[in-house]
Each structure stands twice: as C-alpha cells, then as structure tokens.
C-alpha cells in the first residue's frame, strides 16, 4: 500500500515556506503550511499528516518542541528538520528525539525529496509491522479462545462419559442406581467446605465417579449374589480397588483419580483395605469419599438396609469420627447446608 503523501511544512520564514510548498507540491504531495511551531502542532493534531518538515529555529515554539509534541501525539510520525550550519548539534540531538533526518540549508531539492520519500516508507513499514503483529496477536487470541472452548467441550464430554460409566457401574451393584451421582455431588460440596480450591475438584470428581470401576473385574456371581459372601468371595471382592487402580493409572487424564479409586475402602483407624493404612496417610479425596459414601448408604434404601433420616445419618457419622472417618472431614460435611444435600439427591434422580 502506497503511503499517504500528506505533508505539514512548518517555517517562520514565508519565503522559505513558499519554496518548500512548491517543491513538495510539484512532487505530488498534499501540503499544509504553518508559520510557527504552535500553529504546526495544532495543524498536526487536526490532520495527523504522516510527514512533517520543520525548521529548528522559530519564535513561539522551536522545531525541537514541535518534534516532541508531534511524537507524543503519534509515535510513528515521520519528521525531518531543516537546520543551518550553526545548529547542526541541535539537529543531531533531534534524531535522538525521534526525527527521521535533518537537511542542511540551503536545501538541495533532490536530497530533500529523497529524504521525504524514505521517511514515509520507513513510517509505513513501522505501521504495517505493528498491524501485522496486532493481526498475529488477534489470531493467537482467537486460536487460544477456540482451543479453550474445545478443551471445555472435551472436558464436558469426558465428564458425561464418566457419569454414564459411573451409572453403568451402579446398575451392576444391586440397589445402588444413581449412587455415583449423589456421592459425586456430596463430595464436591464437602470438599469446598473442607477448603479445596476449584482447580482441585476435577480429580476428586473423577475419583468419586470411578471409585468402583474395579468391580468390572469382579464376577457377577459374587457382585450380584443375593446372600452373604463367603470368606473366599470377600477376598475376591476386596481386589476391586487394585483392579480399578490398574485400569486407570495409565490414563493421563484420570491419573489424579487413582488415590480415591485405590483407597476408598481405607478407614481412619487403619482397619480398611486393601493396604490397611490410616489417618492422614489416606489421601484426602478418599477420606472425603468414605464419609459421603457412608452418608448415602445410610439415607437411601438398599436391598439389605432401609434408609434412615438425614439427622440420624449425621449422628452416626459423628459417632464414627476418629474411627472409620477423618473427624475434620466429618465436620466439613456437617457444614454443608441440608437444602443443598436435598437438591443433590433430587437432581441425581433426573434422567
């Protein structure tokens, strides 16, 4: 794109002004004329010409002052200063302030026009480079936005898949339909009360939804057995945390869920399984899960037990705090508002 050939000529000498006007008019420039620096700055503010040619020594406002004010208005403005032999030092100083070039008087027409053309070209390159960088930044921003949206959509798909998988696992365990969705909601609410940051909730959510994924490896003859399990059958059933760990630990997206899947049957007093660890050796996500899982088991009808009221279930959690459950997690759960617990339970029954 050809640079706009508009020029502002600033000189207090009318004769010099007229000569410069004729030189640039003949060369195809659109000219504006100012008789001092103050008038020149006013014209520049109004018209923003890409090129300014100014004398250095002028009354009212010097060329140096004009240069400074013009560059404040437009950092890309191309400015050429005209100077006599006595002001060469000042002219050189003007270069440090952003002037493109200085021309010695008396002016050589060819030298002046070449300097003007180069100044406009340089300005145009600066403008185009800035526009190019802005365009690149805009594209990067758009790409980042699209990538973030795609990632959110992918996460949403993962979450829906995990919820479906959790529900499918529930259907294999008689009487626990929608159990994973309820426990998922209770666990997130408890974790927030416990002090989890929002960014920490994803792994907890995945672990809760997949806590029983290891039951995929348990024979239906054991998993769906209507009566009590034999000691040998219990031994097989207790392998499901290890099976679950092996299933998901090699999936990067789900690696944060492993501690819950592997430790969700451990107890605070170390009487659980599969490792028999206790206290704070149990991952905090698993400690949260054990509390909300027990609450759900007590407040929802199962083939082998009838639901009890929320208050009774909370009293039982308090009684077992320090033995089965982490007391601090129990306290966090008890701070969850009961209307929220009711809402989580109601939503879990929705299709």
| pLDDT string in tens for the chain (351-residue length) | 455 689 999 999 899 999 999 999 999 999 999 999 999 999 999 999 999 999 988 888 988 899 999 988 988 889 998 887 667 777 777 887 878 888 888 888 999 999 899 988 888 888 888 888 888 887 878 877 776 676 566 566 666 666 555 555 555 544 455 777 889 999 999 999 999 998 889 899 989 888 888 888 888 888 888 888 899 999 999 999 999 899 888 888 788 999 999 999 999 999 999 999 999 999 999 999 999 999 999 998 776 678 999 999 999 999 999 999 999 999 999 999 999 999 998 887 776
- Output the six-digit token pair for 175: 């009487």
The dihedral built from the CA positions of residue 183, 189, 194 and 197, taken in this order, carries a sign that is positive
Phi and psi torsions of 325, nearest 5°: -120, 150
Q: Which residue has the tokens 């605070």?
A: 268
Pairing of strands 101-104, 51-55: unpaired
The DSSP letter of residue 274 is S
pTM as predicted? 0.55
Catalytic residues: 215
Query: Could you give the C-alpha distances from 123 to 36, 111, 129, 135, 284, in angstroms and in order?
Result: 24, 18, 10, 18, 62
Q: Are 167 and 178 in contact (CB under 8 A)?
A: yes
């Amino acid at each position: 794109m050809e640079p706009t050939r508009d020029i502002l000529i600033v000189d207090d000498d009318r004769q010099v002004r007229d000569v410069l006007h004729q030189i640039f008019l003949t060369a195809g420039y659109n000219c504006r004329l100012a008789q001092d620096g103050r008038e020149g700055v006013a014209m520049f503010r109004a018209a923003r010409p890409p090129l300014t040619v100014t004398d250095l020594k002028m009354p009212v406002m010097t060329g140096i002052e004009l240069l400074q004010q013009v560059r404040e208005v437009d950092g890309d403005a191309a400015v050429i200063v005209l100077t006599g032999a006595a002001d060469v030092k000042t002219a050189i100083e003007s270069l440090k302030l952003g002037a493109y070039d200085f021309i010695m008087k008396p002016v050589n027409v060819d030298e002046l026009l070449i300097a003007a053309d180069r100044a406009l070209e340089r300005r145009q390159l600066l403008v185009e480079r800035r526009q190019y960088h802005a365009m690149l930044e805009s594209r990067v921003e758009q790409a980042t936005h699209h990538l973030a949206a795609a990632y959110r959509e992918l996460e949403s798909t993962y979450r829906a898949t995990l919820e479906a998988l959790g529900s499918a696992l529930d259907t294999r365990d008689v009487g626990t339909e929608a159990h994973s969705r309820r426990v998922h909601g209770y666990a997130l609410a408890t974790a927030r009360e416990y002090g989890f940051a929002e960014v920490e909730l994803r792994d907890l959510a995945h672990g809760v939804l997949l806590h029983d994924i290891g039951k995929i490896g348990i024979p239906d003859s054991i998993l769906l057995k209507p009566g009590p399990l034999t000691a040998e059958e219990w031994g097989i059933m207790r392998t499901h945390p290890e099976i679950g760990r092996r299933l998901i630990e090699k999936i990067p997206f789900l690696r944060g869920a492993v501690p819950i899947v592997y430790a969700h049957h451990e107890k605070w007093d170390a009487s659980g399984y599969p490792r028999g660890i206790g206290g704070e050796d149990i991952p905090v996500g698993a400690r949260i899960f054990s509390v909300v899982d027990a609450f759900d088991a007590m407040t929802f009808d199962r083939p082998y037990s009838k639901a009890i009221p929320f208050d009774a279930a909370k009293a039982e959690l308090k009684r077992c705090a320090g033995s089965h459950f982490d007391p601090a997690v129990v306290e966090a759960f008890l701070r969850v508002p009961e209307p929220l617990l009711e809402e989580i339970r109601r939503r879990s029954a929705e299709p």
